A and B are shown apart, each in its own frame.
Chain A
Amino acid sequence: MATPPGGFDVVLSRSGKTVAIPEGKSILEVLEAEGITIASSCLEGVCGTCETDVLEGVPDHRDNVLSKRERESNKTMMICCSGSLTPVLVLDL
């Protein structure tokens, strides 16, 4: 597994909470450490279980699930392995 791409903030739209994702950590592992339960399985971007809707920001897609069209839409991402190209990502969580 590649080094997770941390170094940005994630805003959880439903609670309004902001969570910093440090270098070397994935969004999923930071959120789970915060006590937020998210469905996941492979942790390597091959299964698609952790697919999450993106409301704002541009993900840095590193998975093998999404089609080219889905990647370019920037509306969804796999939070186990993908990062952010913008300083903040707002997720539908």
Chain B
Amino acid sequence: MITAEDNEALVRVGKGTVMGDFMRQFWVPACLSSEITSDGDPMRLMLLGEKLIAFRDTEGRVGIMEHVCPHRMASLFFGRNEQGGIRCPYHGWKFDVNGNCLDQPNLPDKNKYPAGTKAWAYRTIEQGGMVFVYMGERQANPPPLPELAPIMADPDDRNIALTQRDCNWMQALEGDIDTSHLGFLHAGTIDGDRLDPTDPARFTVINKAPTINVSEMDFGTMYSAQRGAEVGFEHHRYACYLFPFWVTYPSDSIERNVSANAWVPIDDENTMIFNIDVQRSSGKGRKIMKYTDGTTVPGLARPVEYLPRTTDWQGRWRPVKNSSNDYGLDRELQRNGGVYSGIIGIPLQDQAIIESMGPIIDRTREHLASSDRMVMLTRKVMLKAARDYRETGKLPDFLDHPEYARKARGGDLVVPEGTDWLDGYVDAMTAAHGPYPRPEAAE
């Protein structure tokens, strides 16, 4: 459990909240680059409880600004995206992507504001097939993007999956660093004896009670879930949390895995998941899990099927299978079909369980266990960082050291028994990518 005060501080993200103000000092993934086209429809976008409008101008530049016109507060969603800016349909005032006022055509020349009237625009940048927005204090001099391998890669929409989850962002993120659920929710009825004995994922299936190693890092936190492997060896499954909402989750061997999730708050009770796995489109990554006899392990398949897109504040990337239809739960599949949850697909299994907790968990009532050490440490590190910012204005060094993110990867590794979990990680990464900076454990 944590106190009610800590819970509130963790989950609320509106302007003026402890976590909301902290989060705004980092770049926030806003949407796919492909969701907005030059002179195309302006898109309603809600981030951290703020109602915004996103559009791409004639030259391809991206604008993200408060959705209302600064004149009489009409919504620019109804605006005309034309010739280098967005024009309010009410009186024709026009703004460029930086919020500069280009035209006030309803005013006689002598009454036009000399410098126009700025719309409330934020800084944006595009990278890796995504648009990022910076809603923080340093609008004139924003920090660099974190050098996370998945977002530094060449853009390919097939590698990026967005999904709305109807619950608080921290609840969703905690599901991503709760590693021991893997052996149950996703793999509870997989038969480990029928898997390829050399597949490291097998150990997560056959040993369901790992020891959890955790450490605070300069980018956030890191864990390994440690299990016995073949005689004389141990299996580690690594993942990292990076400020303010990134998780480099494990989906392949540590050498090959290049993946991350951003758990981006839409508001306090809704989250947009940005799931990036750069191996997905190339087919070089993890293959569909099969038994040694060639049959496919049931219940794991992607992708998520989406409802038709709407222009609503929350009309994008909503799964067809959702709480209204119990996520397609099939009791026969659960009893006898080899799918522990009875729900098809790892993302939907997570979606069902995390949403089932309600929009915001009452963390004063939970009973965390040693399996939850990563959750406990991450909350603590997050709260401390957010409160330090509130009290002293100081932000983590990571903000202006984007290279720290290069050290933060996830994945599976088998090492000789007794190997220190961080030494094993550094050695494997060095072997795969050349000299590798050691993550400095802050313990």
Complex Cα spacing A51 to B443, Å: 12
A11 to B376, CA, bound (A): 24
User: A49-B376, A51-B376, A73-B443 are contacts. A39–B1 as well, Cβ < 8 Å?
Assistant: yes
Q: Which of B81-89, B149-157, B367-375 contacts A (4 or more CB under 8 A)?
A: B367-375
- A–B complex contacts, Cβ < 8 Å, 15 sampled: A39-B6, A41-B1, A42-B367, A42-B369, A46-B369, A47-B367, A48-B368, A48-B370, A48-B373, A49-B368, A49-B376, A64-B370, A67-B211, A67-B213, A70-B443
B78 to chain A, nearest CB (A): 48
A65 to B1, CA, bound (A): 17
Which residues in A have some Cβ–Cβ distance to B below 8 Å? 37, 39-42, 46-49, 51, 64-65, 67, 69-70, 73, 75-76
Which among A41, A46, A70 has the greatest number of chain B C-beta atoms within 10 A? A41
- B367's partner among A41, A67, A69, A76 (CB-CB below 8 A) is A41
Q: Knowing that A47-B372, A48-B368, A73-B443 are A-B contacts, what are 8 other residue pairs whose CB atoms are under 8 Å apart, sorted by A's residue number?
A: A39-B6, A42-B367, A46-B369, A47-B367, A48-B369, A48-B370, A48-B372, A48-B373
| B interface residues with partner A (beta carbon < 8 Å) | 1-3, 6, 211, 213, 367-370, 372-373, 376-377, 420, 443
Query: Given A39-B3, A48-B376, A49-B376, are A75 and B370 neighbors across the interface (CB < 8 Å)?
Result: no
Docked pose: A75 CA to B420 CA in angstroms: 18
Which residue of chain B lies nearest to A92 when distances are taken between CB atoms in the complex? Answer: B384
A65 and B370 form a contact (CB under 8 A): yes
**Set of chain B residues within 8 Å of A64, measured between Cβ atoms:** 370
Give the complex CA separation of A72 and B63 in angstroms: 53
Closest residue to A37 on the B side, CB-wise? B3
- Given the complex, which residues of B lie within 8 Å of A75, measured CB to CB? 443
9 nearest A-B residue pairs (beta carbon): A39-B2, A47-B369, A48-B373, A65-B370, A49-B368, A48-B370, A41-B367, A37-B3, A73-B443
CB distance from A35 to the nearest CB of B (A): 13
Q: A69 → chain B, closest Cβ, in Å?
A: 7
Bound-complex Cα distance A61 to B1 (A):
22
Chain B residues, Cβ within 8 Å of A65: 370, 373
Please tell me if the beta carbons of A40 and B1 are within 8 angstroms of each other in the complex. Answer: yes
List the B residue with the shortest CB-CB distance to A76: B443
CB neighbours (8 Å) of B372 from chain A are: 47-48
Shortest distance from the beta carbon of B325 to any chain A beta carbon, whole Å: 35
Residues of A within 8 A of B367 (CB): 41-42, 47
A24 vs chain B, min Cβ distance (A): 25
Contact partners of A37 in chain B: CB under 8 A: 3
> Which chain A residues lie closer than 8 Å to B6 at the CB level?
39
Residues of A within 8 A of B2 (CB): 39
* Residues from chain B with Cβ under 8 Å of A51 in the complex: 376-377
A42 to B1, CA, bound (A): 10
Query: What's the nearest-Cβ distance from chain A to residue B375, in Å?
Result: 10
- A39-B3, A48-B376 given; A69·B420 CB < 8 A: yes
Q: Which residue of B lies closest to A63 (CB)?
A: B370
A49 to B363, CA, bound (A): 12
What is the distance, in angstroms, from A74's C-beta to the closest C-beta of chain B?
A: 10
Kindly provide the distance from the CB of A68 to the nearest chain B CB, expressed in whole angstroms.
10
Cβ contact within 8 Å between B370 and A46: yes
In the complex, what distance in Å separates the CA atom of A67 from the CA atom of B210? 13
Residues of A within 8 A of B368 (CB): 41, 47-49
B379 to chain A, nearest CB (A): 9
Distance in angstroms between the alpha carbons of A73 and B216 in the assembled complex: 14
Q: Report B-chain residues with C-beta under 8 Å of the C-beta of A39.
A: 1-3, 6
Closest chain B CB from A86 CB (angstroms)? 20
Question: Measured between C-beta atoms, what is the minimum distance from B236 to chain A in Å?
Answer: 13
| Across-interface contacts of A67 in B (CB, < 8 A) | 211, 213
